[in-house]
Amino acid sequence: MKGYIQVYTGNGKGKTTAAMGLALRAAGSGLKVYIATYFKLFSVEDLLDFMGEKPKGVELVITGRMADPKVIDKADLVTEMKEVKHYYQKGITARDGIEK
């Protein structure tokens, strides 16, 4: 199996949800799943090096707002989540089990 690099970016809701759905599906199919990092724990250069060293059979899923253009260029699949309308604009805060 060839592993690809997927990036989910943008200001819209659903980046982490998409990645977790992929992880759940992979685990349910018997694949090993690892879930790693948070905002600015390593540099873009370190991430690019990591992407370059990815073994052929590993699927790498990267999420976060404002993905660096170099990361986007190196990825095989890039999805940008665009916020069109969100209820937080009406003062609704993050709800347990839904947004947090």
The CATH number of residue 11's host domain is 3.40.50.300
Chain-centre distance for alpha carbon 15: 6
Q: Other C-beta atoms within 10 Å of 33: how many?
A: 15
Q: Other C-beta atoms within 10 Å of 54: how many?
A: 13
Residue 61 pairs in a beta bridge with 6
Whether residue 97 lies inside any domain: the answer is no
pTM: 0.85
Whether residue 95 lies inside any domain: the answer is no
Tell me what pLDDT residue 41 has: 76
Give me the domain span that covers residue 11: 5-90
Tell me what pLDDT residue 39 has: 63
Whether residue 98 lies inside any domain: the answer is no
Per-residue pLDDT of the chain (100 residues; tens, 9 = 90+): 789 999 999 999 999 999 999 999 999 999 999 887 656 678 899 999 999 999 999 999 999 999 999 999 999 999 999 999 988 889 999 889 888 8
